[in-house]
Amino acid sequence: MFFLNWQEGQNVKQIKMKQFITFVRKEFYHVFRDPKTLLLLFGMPIAQIVLFGFALTNEIKNTHIVVCDYANDNASHRLINKIEASKNFEVAKIIMDHREIESAFKSGKIKMTIVIPPNFESDLKHFNKTQIEIIADASDPNTANSLNNYASNIIMDYQNEVMPESKGFMQINTQIRMFYNPELKGAYNFVPGVMALVLLLVCVLMTSVSIVREKELGTMEILLVSPFNPILVIVSKAVPYFFLSLVNLSVILLLSTTLMHMPINGSIVLLYFASAILILTALALGLLISNVTNSQQAAMLISLMGMLMPTLLFTGFMFPIENMPLPLQFITNIVPSKWYYIIVKSVMIKGLGIASVWKEMLILSGMALFLLVVSVKKFKIRLE
């Protein structure tokens, strides 16, 4: 009788360890033999990074503008050249008549017009003073503001070049420095967001679906009848996804440092540690979902709806939390990805250490622990 193994012959601990390894190996087979799982697991982070990196960006590049050049002299030509040289603008047309401005805007292709007055060069030379008019299409106020800033910077630069002596003369120069992100790159904002999103989505989805699949196929019954500890069923299911998520995280980091030129200023160990906690939280959430559903489709739907919306809305990488009404701001506190997002930004971009993010780490760990305890307690070890 083989059950004798359990009673005397072998060390029970040894048997349990072997059971566990057997189970984890089986989970890896499932993952690597299902092209859909693989695609989701590794395709999603790449797609997200590329999507957010190149398509969905709030940086403004190559905006078409019109210059209305009444001066048409050397000074105005130099200014126009300078504007054209910047990566933000592309001069679509140089016109001589302000009546053409409105029709240019109406075409929708032009977002801004710069009007250079007559006698631009001579005014500059003789009076040290002239005016330039900037007209922006403010139907999208944020874009208009940014364009205005970019243009003002270029003109300021130009002024410093042509009359360096004017610097500091009878005027207050504002010096603006953008700390941590001098080039105002959107990537600094969205990469930590995408990290949170991908880790949460993938982990929650994978665990819930893989447990529900065993229920659907009827193999869960067999597992529960076997001497394998039901709690270990959960743990063994979580192990592969935990490690694969860390691989996933590395892919995201690699892509964002090479493609997006993101820095990793802080400790990479701390970054992985925080991610590990988020992954645990996600695994626990997936487990909870698997307890309340019996079909893979339902598990998938709940995971997607339950994770995607709150993460997108309440993490802070799409919509600033400070601008939300108070009740919503309060809700963001229970979204794990918000805390993770703060940690990642602090560590990756500002290069801060554990001393600055311990509070967020503690909150995230608390959430992970709470969810794990609840989900393990709720896991049905019997069939009714």
Partner 1 sequence: MQNEVVIKTDKLTKRFGEFVATNEMSIEVYKGEIFGFLGANGAGKTTAMRMLCGLSLPSSGSATIAGFDVYTQTEEIKKNIGYMSQKFSLYEDLNVLENIRFFGGIYGLNNQQLKQKSEALIEGLGLNNESKKLVGALPLGWKQKLAFSVAILHEPKIVFLDEPTGGVDPVTRRQFWDMIYDASNKGITVFVTTHYMDEAEYCNRISMMVDGYVRALDTPTELKKKYGAKSMDDVFFELARGAKRKAD
Per CB under 8 A, residues contacting partner 1 are: 1-3, 5-6, 10, 15, 18-19, 21-23, 25-26, 29-30, 33-34, 217-219, 221-228, 382-384
Closest among 228, 270, 234, 227 to 249, alpha carbons compared:
270
- List CB contacts of 254: < 8 A, sequence separation 6 or more: none
Which of residues 10 and 333 has its CB atom nearest to partner 1 in the complex? 10
Using DSSP's 3-state secondary structure scheme, residue 198 falls into helix
Which of residues 40 and 184 has its CB atom nearest to partner 1 in the complex? 40
Smallest distance, partner 1 to C-beta of residue 295, A: 14
CA distance 212 to 220: 9
Smallest distance, partner 1 to C-beta of residue 9, A: 9
Which of residues 97 and 384 has its CB atom nearest to partner 1 in the complex? 384
DSSP label at 323? G
**The dihedral of CA 151, 152, 157, 162: what is its sign?**
positive
Helices (H) and strands (E) in the chain, counts: 16, 4
**The dihedral of CA 44, 58, 336, 348: what is its sign?**
positive
Smallest distance, partner 1 to C-beta of residue 12, A: 9
Smallest distance, partner 1 to C-beta of residue 300, A: 18
**C-alpha to C-alpha distances, 248 to 182, 208, 245, 252, nearest whole angstrom:** 28, 18, 5, 6
Which of residues 183 and 221 has its CB atom nearest to partner 1 in the complex? 221
Smallest distance, partner 1 to C-beta of residue 30, A: 6
**C-alpha to C-alpha distances, 227 to 13, 224, 246, nearest whole angstrom:** 13, 8, 31
Smallest distance, partner 1 to C-beta of residue 61, A: 46
Which of residues 228 and 242 has its CB atom nearest to partner 1 in the complex? 228
Smallest distance, partner 1 to C-beta of residue 302, A: 24
Which of residues 33 and 99 has its CB atom nearest to partner 1 in the complex? 33
Q: For residue 276, what is the enclosing H or E element?
A: helix 268-292
Q: For residue 341, what is the enclosing H or E element?
A: helix 336-344
Written as six digits, the tokens of 264 are 């990793």
Using DSSP's 3-state secondary structure scheme, residue 133 falls into strand
CA distance 306 to 328: 16
Which of residues 73 and 216 has its CB atom nearest to partner 1 in the complex? 216
Beta bridge partners of 135: 113
Which of residues 176 and 225 has its CB atom nearest to partner 1 in the complex? 225
CA distance 273 to 246: 10
Which of residues 15 and 184 has its CB atom nearest to partner 1 in the complex? 15
**C-alpha to C-alpha distances, 16 to 119, 231, 234, 268, 380, nearest whole angstrom:** 89, 12, 15, 34, 21
Smallest distance, partner 1 to C-beta of residue 145, A: 55
Which of residues 156 and 222 has its CB atom nearest to partner 1 in the complex? 222
Written as six digits, the tokens of 360 are 């967020």
Smallest distance, partner 1 to C-beta of residue 239, A: 15
Helix axes 12-33, 230-258, angle to 10 degrees: 50
Smallest distance, partner 1 to C-beta of residue 292, A: 19
